[in-house]
Chains A and B, each alone.
Chain A
Amino acid sequence: MNEKKIIELKNVAKSYDGEIILDHINLDVHEKEFMTLLGPSGCGKTTTLRIIAGFVTPDTGDVVFEGTKINDVPAYKRHVNTVFQKYALFPHLNVYENIAFALRLNKVSEEEIYNRVEEMLAMVNLRGFEKKDVNLLSGGQQQRVAIARALINKPKVLLLDEPLGALDLKLRKDMQNELKNIQRKTGITFIYVTHDQEEALSMSDTVVVMADGKIQQIGSPTDIYNEPENAFVADFIGESNIIDGIMLDDYKAKFSGQIFDCLDKGFNKNEAVDVVIRPEDVDVVSPEKGMLQGVVDSVTFKGVHYEIIVTINNFKWMIQSTDYVAPNQKIGLFIEPDAIHIMKKSEYSNMFGDYSSFSDELEALSDVEALEEEE
């Protein structure tokens, strides 16, 4: 990855009506990077994007673009372009004119406009759609037009505000690939906002996890998944069992009444910590062979695996296993040292990671709510 910084946010804060939206964040975006701002609704990710685009002025802090402070540069003079959540195509213009809009403003010759629009249309696979009315296009097609329109000016940075949120699952997967390809081909820096962790992990070079107006963790998708910095990140990215534990010594952690070997070190002796164990990293064995024993609460078939809720010492664990176990059956759990990840205690400790109130349905419901709020 190119190490040259293209955008820097320095100590940026923003609040509306006394409500803090962004709490002094610092962020560096590098050239040619695909960066994703990930977080639940209301975490400040869209506001961050709008500050970079110039639609929102930060209360304090600086926005730096290629080494120059651009706090006071209006949106229309910034070398960034945006793909809006609902595309914001101009309804009174056809596909060609929508894409050509920025060039017409700059009084580019008709011939060049034609060539560049055609180039863009080829890139987003919309050749032959020039004269179509944008209101009659499907969601995916509108999305492509929006991307073409934003890219025609060859911006240094492209901002994408949940661009795939309104598409159905299959289309979303295709568009993810396509976006990634476009980014590679053009070498333009992408800053991508989403609340879909899977999307974030599969597309990004760098993931920025945000919550409550703060950046929780910045890292590559694998870092974020494997080494979450706190309970919030661990819970938000994938499924996690987060258990209270004590770090007895380097490589020795105690939780659920047992002492485990692990790969973490550098904590104080007997320091209280959060222990993260991913459901897929736990092996189900017979009770005698298990390091922990518990009774199965419920079993749900998920296609690739079964999702098993097990009660151990009053704490409900989630385990993913390809073998079926019956409810009320006593089972043992086997956990390898590299499956254990130790985190320092944080404000999010004890808020997540217990599956006693887990339900797929509830999760889906809260997702819908989150979506609606964003809109």
Chain B
Amino acid sequence: MKKTRNIYTALVFIFLYMPIFVLILYSFNSSNSTSTFEGFSLKWYRELFSDSATLDALKNTLILAILSALISTVIGTMAAYGINKMQNKYVKGSVMSVTKIPMMNPEIVTGISMMLLFVFVGVMLGGKSSLGFGTVLIAHVTFNLPYVILSVMPKFKQMDKSLPEAALDLGCTPIQSFFKVELPQILPGIISGLIMAFTLSLDDFVISYFTIGSGFETLPIRIYSMTKKRVTPDMYALSTLIFVSILILLLVSNLVSDKNKEKMSKQAKKITKIVLSSVFAVIAVITLIVFIASAGKETVTVNVYNWGEYISDGSEDTYNTNLEFEKYYEEKLKAQGKDVDVRVNYTTYASNEDLYAKLKSGAGGYDIIIPSDYMIERLKADGLIQQLDLSKIPNFDNIEEQFRNPFYDKDPNEKYTVMYTYGVIGIIYNKDKLAPADLEKIENGEAGWELLWDEKYKGQILQFNNARDAFGTAMYALGIDVNNATDEDWQNAYNKLLMQKPLVQSYVMDEIYNKMESGEATLAAYYAGDCLSMIANNESLGFFYPKNENGEYVTNIFADAMCIPKDAQNVEHAYEYINFMLSPEAARANAEYIYYASPNSVVINNEDYIDYLGEDYDLIYDPDFNNLITANGEEITYIEYMFNTYAYRDLSDESRAKLNSLWEGLKVDSASFGSGIYIICAVILVLLIGFIVYKYIERRRHRRLYWNNAAQPKVVVSRNDFNSTAMYDAVKAELEATKENEKK
């Protein structure tokens, strides 16, 4: 019995801490591979502390957590004090229930409702963008409050009610009584409430996500938005550091809360005092820094909203785009006689849809956004982005002719966007595992999409875990026009994917890195830039663009472009930023960092850049893409043709619904347990109900037995009855016996 108990405990601990152990291990990995541990190194920690954006986010998160924890602790303690003083039981009860509701409420509901409220109030007050640090702070204080109240309340209840009276009696005013007598009693509750609020606020994502504004990014949001590329291992290092700090915090809080149970040694008291005072010192310093930073010179702020990991940010000794811009622009303004600080507020999003939701809600305030092609169409149609004045972007001339007027921004006289990068979807494969015949085909440039439907590679194929791209592969394979698909076309594409399903190992996005690099999977379609990153980590991987039987490239091409939202706060600065991004240095640094194709002629033709890419250059910029072809009587480059033909357009609502429902169908089916999971759930539910009913019946039977048996001795004994019972007789007999003894 003891043994099983120990094994059970061990299992629980393994399940709880295994993931964290792996995380800590990989934070010391010398490579960025997630599959193999290649040696101990502190590289990612070094990396972390040189990544200013992440450190910024960390700083923001800490400031937010500390401030919201402090404010909610003060308010929560006052609330608990008030609730505790309430005389009416019913009022007290209902106030407590109302207090608990925000804890039960799904975070998403809280988040959305808060965003609505803030935007609504902001609009009423006439502000352009109402979301910002203040709103996240309010939101965090709101969701922290119940936890603080619930941890302080019991301490009030435990406290001897006459303590405050004793204090008053000895001459304390009510306020003195609170601080001198009541506060020391409830302090452990306050501290544990403070720590709980701090940790809750530290890792909150959902509520922050909805209430955060343009100028502010917290760590969870930053990590979440790193999905365009993948989560970098310096995040493992950061997570490790956070885990360790929380662990320490927890130990300290246990020390403090033990205070009331056990007598604390003098030393422990001293430690607590030191810890508490240092926490307050840190808070004071941070407040001071924030204050000083906010004072000082006038600051020009440019709010940039981009994909995560989508700019050269100074990590691994690269070019720090935002920092360079700040320097450059400060000097430029100085030359104009304006001595100001320039600050780039760089925040990130995870998907086009997130960006759209944010802009649509009116919670904007961004000066630069970098959406993808189809989303630009939608933003333009909704009037959420503004027309650009090209005279303010002289570097626009650096953009190659063929990328100046893409399909989503066709009119040369009415420009809304400046292309940032573009990319093509290709197929990545493992040379060691592919059949020689197929390798030869690829070599000869004859391979196409059908390779992903090849029975030979059953269980080794990866497919996109995103509806549009997955359906895209099937449509390109079938020769269907991705932008004008009929219902029948959609159905055919669906059938094609259904056919592929038995061959597919799994539907993946970021996990593809791991699976391809480790050789677990053999074939997959993915974005060119990412494919080349994988090849750099595993030399047996190869890459090609699929062709149709006529020898033409048929694959998706996509572009991300810089735009200025309608409600931008600093349009002038936004132009300056865009222009800077097109400058030779910044553009090249970003192209090298992101590894997607650049539309910028000064980059493409730069010898150093060509050297830097080496073999990859011809893969990214396939020479065939520049071939001229004639389409609709116009002579255009092949890449222009691809943009016009194969790039995804914004779907109509109807098509989007169709796509989503088909995709759901495919995915639900794809989960191998399928309907099995429902059966399992049903069985568990039935067993549970059966058990409860059995217990109920059993208890009733017991009760009946108990009552039946207990009925006999259970007689109500009254005083009069007692006089005539056997007991009384016994006493009488005893007394008579003693009398007789006396006589003798």
- Our verdict on whether A and B bind, yes or no, reads yes
Spell out A's residues near B (CB within 8 Å): 53-55, 74-77, 80-82, 84-86, 88-92, 101-102, 105-106, 133, 135-136, 149-150, 153, 299, 326-327, 356-357, 359
Closest chain-A Cβ to B266's Cβ sits at a distance in Å of 12
Given contacts A86-B162, A327-B732, A357-B719, contact A76 B739 (CB under 8 A): no
A selection of 17 A-B contacts at a CB cut-off of 8 Å is A76-B172, A76-B174, A77-B171, A82-B165, A82-B169, A88-B160, A88-B166, A90-B184, A92-B184, A92-B185, A101-B167, A105-B170, A135-B263, A149-B170, A150-B169, A327-B735, A357-B719
- Say if the beta carbon of B465 comes within 8 Å of chain A: no
Q: Are B162 and A76 in contact (CB under 8 A)?
A: no
- Chain B's interface size range is 20 to 34
A357-B723 Cα distance, complex, nearest whole Å = 11
A136-B735 Cα distance, complex, nearest whole Å = 49
A55-B180 Cα distance, complex, nearest whole Å = 19
A105-B167 Cα distance, complex, nearest whole Å = 10
A82-B176 Cα distance, complex, nearest whole Å = 18
Bitwise, B82-97 to A at CB < 8 A (1) or not (0) is: 0000000000000000
Q: Are A88 and B163 in contact (CB under 8 A)?
A: yes
Given contacts A88-B160, A357-B719, contact A101 B165 (CB under 8 A): no
A326-B170 Cα distance, complex, nearest whole Å = 59
- Chain B residues contacting A133 (CB-CB under 8 Å) are 263
Closest chain-A Cβ to B742's Cβ sits at a distance in Å of 9
Closest to A91 in B: B185
Q: Are A76 and B163 in contact (CB under 8 A)?
A: no
Out of A89, A135, A153, A356, name the residue touching B171 (CB < 8 Å).
A153
- Chain A residues contacting B318 (CB-CB under 8 Å) are none
A62-B162 Cα distance, complex, nearest whole Å = 25
Bitwise, B722-744 to A at CB < 8 A (1) or not (0) is: 00000000001001000100000
Out of B169, B185, B719, B735, name the residue touching A76 (CB < 8 Å).
B169
Q: Are B166 and A82 in contact (CB under 8 A)?
A: yes
Q: Are B739 and A326 in contact (CB under 8 A)?
A: yes
A153-B171 Cα distance, complex, nearest whole Å = 9
Q: Are A90 and B181 in contact (CB under 8 A)?
A: yes
Given contacts A105-B176, A133-B263, A326-B739, contact A90 B169 (CB under 8 A): no
A131-B298 Cα distance, complex, nearest whole Å = 58
Closest to B728 in A: A298
Closest chain-A Cβ to B612's Cβ sits at a distance in Å of 67
Q: Are B168 and A55 in contact (CB under 8 A)?
A: yes
Q: Are B165 and A88 in contact (CB under 8 A)?
A: yes
Closest to B738 in A: A326
- Say if the beta carbon of B245 comes within 8 Å of chain A: no
- Say if the beta carbon of B173 comes within 8 Å of chain A: yes
- Chain B residues contacting A74 (CB-CB under 8 Å) are 168
- Chain A residues contacting B169 (CB-CB under 8 Å) are 53, 75-76, 80-82, 150
Q: Are A86 and B732 in contact (CB under 8 A)?
A: no
A91-B184 Cα distance, complex, nearest whole Å = 9
Closest to A102 in B: B170
Contacts A88-B166, A90-B167, A299-B735 supplied; 9 other A-B pairs, CB < 8 Å: A76-B168, A76-B171, A85-B162, A88-B162, A88-B165, A90-B184, A101-B170, A105-B170, A150-B169
Closest chain-B Cβ to A72's Cβ sits at a distance in Å of 15
A359-B717 Cα distance, complex, nearest whole Å = 14
- Chain B residues contacting A135 (CB-CB under 8 Å) are 263
Q: Are B173 and A76 in contact (CB under 8 A)?
A: yes
List B residues 164-208 near A (Cβ within 8 Å). 165-174, 176-177, 180-181, 184-185
Q: Are B160 and A86 in contact (CB under 8 A)?
A: yes
Closest chain-B Cβ to A283's Cβ sits at a distance in Å of 23
- Chain A residues contacting B174 (CB-CB under 8 Å) are 76
A54-B735 Cα distance, complex, nearest whole Å = 58
A255-B141 Cα distance, complex, nearest whole Å = 79
- Chain A residues contacting B163 (CB-CB under 8 Å) are 88, 90
